[in-house]
């Protein structure tokens, strides 16, 4: 079976562009969600690149489950934890005590989400630049 790691990375980069465009347009809840998606897909791309398949949406866990030979800075895992908080709440009203999701997200959150996602995507891209690796 073909290794689809580059496809996942390309989509992660595209999701990051969408997050930035949504942020600039003032669609902060969607910027936060798209940023989380970019990070998730980038880390899944790295897993595929390393010859392993993973499931789930928790970016911090996906980073922790990388092989030991991949050094993941603790600060990046903490940033992933912030991004993990943007998986459901930006999309569903019942994630908040009251109000629509867009009423709970603003420029502060979307700027942070895009910045952190950019770091996760850059980390995955840098790791994958080393070429295919044996599992």
Looking at the predicted structure, is the pLDDT value of residue 133 above 60?
no
What's the pLDDT band for 134 if we cut at 50, 70, 90? very low
Average pLDDT over residues 74-101: 97
Q: How far apart are CA 63 and CA 44, in angstroms?
A: 9
pTM (predicted TM-score): 0.94
Looking at the predicted structure, is the pLDDT value of residue 1 above 60?
no
Q: What is the 3-state secondary structure (H, E, C) of 30-84?
A: HHHHHHHHHHHHHHHHHHHHCCCCCCCCCHHHHHHCCCCCCCCCHHHHHHHHHHH
> For 47-61, how does the pLDDT look when each residue is reduced to its tens digit (9 = 90+)?
999 999 899 999 999
Looking at the predicted structure, is the pLDDT value of residue 135 above 50?
no
Longest dimension (CA), the chain: 49
* Greater pLDDT, 135 or 67: 67
What's the CATH fold of domain 5-128?
1.20.120
């Amino acid at each position: 079976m073909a290794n689809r790691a580059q496809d996942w990375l390309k989509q992660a980069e595209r999701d990051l562009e969408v997050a930035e465009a949504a942020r600039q347009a003032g669609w902060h809840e969607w910027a936060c969600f798209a940023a989380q998606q970019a990070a998730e897909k980038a880390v899944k791309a790295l897993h595929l690149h390393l010859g392993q398949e993973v499931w789930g949406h928790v970016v911090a866990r996906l980073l922790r489950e990388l092989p030991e030979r991949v050094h993941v800075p603790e600060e990046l895992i903490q940033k992933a934890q912030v991004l993990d908080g943007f998986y459901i709440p930006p999309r569903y009203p019942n994630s908040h005590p009251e109000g629509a999701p867009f009423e709970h997200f603003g420029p502060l959150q979307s700027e942070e989400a895009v910045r952190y996602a950019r770091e996760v995507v850059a980390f995955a891209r840098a790791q994958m630049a080393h070429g295919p690796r044996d599992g």
